[in-house]
Amino acid sequence: MPATDPRPTSRRRVTRRDFLKRAAVTSAGITALAAGAGRQKASAAAPYHDWIAASPRPPKRGGVLTRASAWDPPVIDPRLTQSVGLFQFAGLVSNRLLRYAFADEATGYTDLSLKGDLAESWQGSPDQRVWTFKLRRGVKWQNVPPLNGRELIAADVKYCFGAYAKEGVQAFTFQEIEGMETPDTHTLRVYLRTPNALFPQNVAEPVAVIFSREVLEEDGDLKKRMIGTGPFVLKEHTRKVRIVLQRNPDYFDAGQPYVDEYVILSAPDSATRAAAFRTGQSDFLPLQSPSEVEAIRKTNPAAVVQALTPVITPFGLALAQDKPPFSDVRVRRALSMAIDRQRQVDTVFEGHGIVTAGVPWIYYQDAKPTAKDLGPWWQYRPADAKRLLADAGHPNGFETTLFYYEYFPQMSSQVQLVQQDLRKNLNINVKISKLDYTSYYGRYVEGKWDGMAWGFQSGHAVGLDERTYVYMHSKSTKNFFRVNDPLVDELTVKLRQAPDRGEQRATARRIVDREYDQVLRMWMPHGSNFVLFQPHLRNVAGGVLRGTIGYGSPTIARLWIDK
């Protein structure tokens, strides 16, 4: 369904070769600008807003949206990965039963209200074990063989949830389902093994997309093609080159999406991504520090900046704590006390970092925690750390390994600072390996490693159940940090069975306290996620725990180009 593109013809069919050629002209200049900015903090008066309100004007249709992306999907099967490389576009090809509010609906940055997506209503039984979803009528699968635009029915969702339960990283979530029935073509009733008041959040997670039975049964997997009910049709996926999405003319949300095409170009080099934004070849640019932002704004003063205020630190040291020496809590506590987190905040993130851990503080208290709130093992106390490590039988330290992927340039600096602190304070010799994204992701998620990993709790996780039970229960397929703590298992089960918000907050607080005390996941500081937008974009804001260009990609269906 073509429309007139208000931008130059050269943006209509952008190729990676043209993109790289143009970006190369200015990448050296961008690098020099960033280097010149050094570690100086940006002006306190810089207008970094955590929320950008929706435009009050009527949306315009048409145009091509382009982004240079650091991430390449390891596979396009949503059962087998929750990589941001996939979900930066999978949420635009497919829908979920429920979703979180879009930028033009939300009341503000921290609005976590649920909306219907494929479901128009949902209701739980009094004991929270049975959940009934009423599906929208008239929703069509994309008009691509073998679906050919047929209507979505409740049996499709039932099949999809059953397939998730059989294999993959999301299996643990869907194995909680004891049975499902479809009383009619547009009603799905889900019976859970145990009560879960938070189940609607689980099916609203950005990774819980609904895929088709036909593709899985014809191909035997979902690695070759993706066909959904979403606002965009996947027209091209060329690994390490580009992804092309085109507007779905039959999308159930009438009139959307507004843009005709969305092109995601593979650009693992940060200087190339910056140059692409500077020259107008990319509409978005995520950055991690104020100096980087200000370097870009020197040449692009009209760029709009959203500072996604962090409520978690998504990255940290994952330890093989199912084996010595990290199975000893004294070793974990010693490591934690030997690392100067505040130095990372002050230098790597230029004072804009957060030191708290992996359960979002918004779920259990009203104000952002300070380092003092995190307990004794989170404080920088190298002398105490050395004594404790000696008590654990390692007075002369030990050797270990650490592998990581550089999600952003500052991450290499963080890893090196940790290496320096552990060597200086505990005589622990850490051998570092930097991997490409696909190698790193596969090794980390599949648990095929010893020693240390620069681990993550996936950025997709919005709901409280996902952040606690699904990521911390000892039996979970997403327990990447290898947490195995009976009290945490007990508390995470109790949390999901508590319908009262006050009880949820209290239980979440106990989980967090236990995690801090046992150093179950050794979180490292994280900076503000700055996202720069070209000034002609509207309705582009990301919300708390879901940035537009990553797992919050469905927001792009409501975005429009004011040009």
Place of tokens 């952002």: 368
pLDDT the model gives residue 46 = 54
SS3 readout for 381-412 = CHHHHHHHHHHCCCCCCCEEEEEECCCCCHHH
Length of the chain: 563
Strands (E), 130-288: 130-135, 177-184, 187-192, 232-238, 242-247, 261-266, 284-287
- The closest alpha carbon to 211, from 75, 100, 64, 114, belongs to 75
> Higher model confidence: residue 182 or residue 38?
182
- The closest alpha carbon to 177, from 185, 164, 187, belongs to 164
Q: pLDDT category, 9, cuts 50, 70, 90?
A: very low
Strands (E), 193-250: 232-238, 242-247
Contact residues for 125 (Cβ-Cβ < 8 A; gap 6+): 131
For residue 248, pLDDT over 60 is answered with: yes
Tell which CATH classification among 2.60.120.10, 3.40.50.1000, 3.10.105.10, 3.40.50.2300 matches the domain 315-527: 3.10.105.10
**Spatial separation of the C-alpha atoms in residues 436 and 452, rounded to whole Å:** 17
Amino acid 480 reads F
Helices (DSSP H) in 56-178: which residue ranges? Answer: 84-87, 90-93, 154-166, 171-174
Beta carbons of 375 and 332 less than 8 angstroms apart: no
> Higher model confidence: residue 32 or residue 191?
191
421-431 tens-digit pLDDT: 999 999 999 99
pLDDT the model gives residue 31 = 36
User: What DSSP character marks residue 468?
Assistant: I
- The closest alpha carbon to 119, from 104, 139, 105, belongs to 139
For residue 32, pLDDT over 50 is answered with: no
Question: Using only C-alpha atoms, what is the Rg of the chain?
Answer: 23
pLDDT the model gives residue 19 = 53
Percent of the chain surpassing pLDDT 90: 82
Q: Which of 23-37, 77-91, 336-350 is the least confident region?
A: 23-37
Element counts in the chain: helices (H) and strands (E):
18, 22
311-325 tens-digit pLDDT: 988 999 999 999 999
pLDDT the model gives residue 10 = 38
270-279 tens-digit pLDDT: 999 999 999 9
The mean of the pLDDT values for the chain is 91
220-239 tens-digit pLDDT: 999 999 999 999 999 999 99
pLDDT the model gives residue 7 = 34
Contact residues for 448 (Cβ-Cβ < 8 A; gap 6+): 442
Element (H, E) at 274: helix 270-278
Q: SS3 for 124?
A: strand
* Sheet with 232-238, side-by-side order of all strands: 64-69, 261-266, 242-247, 232-238
DSSP 314-352: -EEEEE-TTSTTTTSHHHHHHHHHTS-HHHIIIIISTT-
User: What DSSP character marks residue 46?
Assistant: -
For residue 116, what are the β-bridge partners? 98
**Spatial separation of the C-alpha atoms in residues 462 and 455, rounded to whole Å:** 18
Distance of CA 228 to the CA centre of its chain: 21
**Spatial separation of the C-alpha atoms in residues 68 and 88, rounded to whole Å:** 12
For residue 34, pLDDT over 70 is answered with: no
Task: Report, as an integer, the average pLDDT of 520-536.
Answer: 94
Beta carbons of 495 and 508 less than 8 angstroms apart: yes
Task: Report, as an integer, the average pLDDT of 276-284.
Answer: 97
Element (H, E) at 30: helix 16-37
Beta carbons of 52 and 140 less than 8 angstroms apart: no
66-78 tens-digit pLDDT: 999 999 988 899 9
User: What DSSP character marks residue 434?
Assistant: E
| Residue 456: C-alpha distances to residues 151, 317, 491 (Å) | 38, 8, 22
**Spatial separation of the C-alpha atoms in residues 43 and 470, rounded to whole Å:** 41
Amino acid 452 reads M
Strands (E), 239-311: 242-247, 261-266, 284-287, 304-308
pLDDT the model gives residue 426 = 98
**Spatial separation of the C-alpha atoms in residues 347 and 514, rounded to whole Å:** 29
pLDDT the model gives residue 38 = 36
Task: Report, as an integer, the average pLDDT of 396-407.
Answer: 97
pLDDT the model gives residue 36 = 35
What fold characterizes domain 9-38+48-307+528-561?
A: D-Maltodextrin-Binding Protein; domain 2 (3.40.190)
User: What DSSP character marks residue 136?
Assistant: P
Domain chopping of the chain, boundaries: 9-38+48-307+528-561, 315-527
pLDDT the model gives residue 397 = 98
Percent of the chain surpassing pLDDT 70: 92
Q: Which of 3-17, 241-255, 317-331, 363-377 is the least confident region?
A: 3-17
Amino acid 380 reads Y
For residue 99, pLDDT over 90 is answered with: yes
- The closest alpha carbon to 557, from 85, 15, 104, belongs to 104
Q: pLDDT category, 44, cuts 50, 70, 90?
A: very low
**Spatial separation of the C-alpha atoms in residues 78 and 72, rounded to whole Å:** 14
For residue 462, pLDDT over 90 is answered with: yes
User: What DSSP character marks residue 106?
Assistant: -
For residue 12, pLDDT over 90 is answered with: no
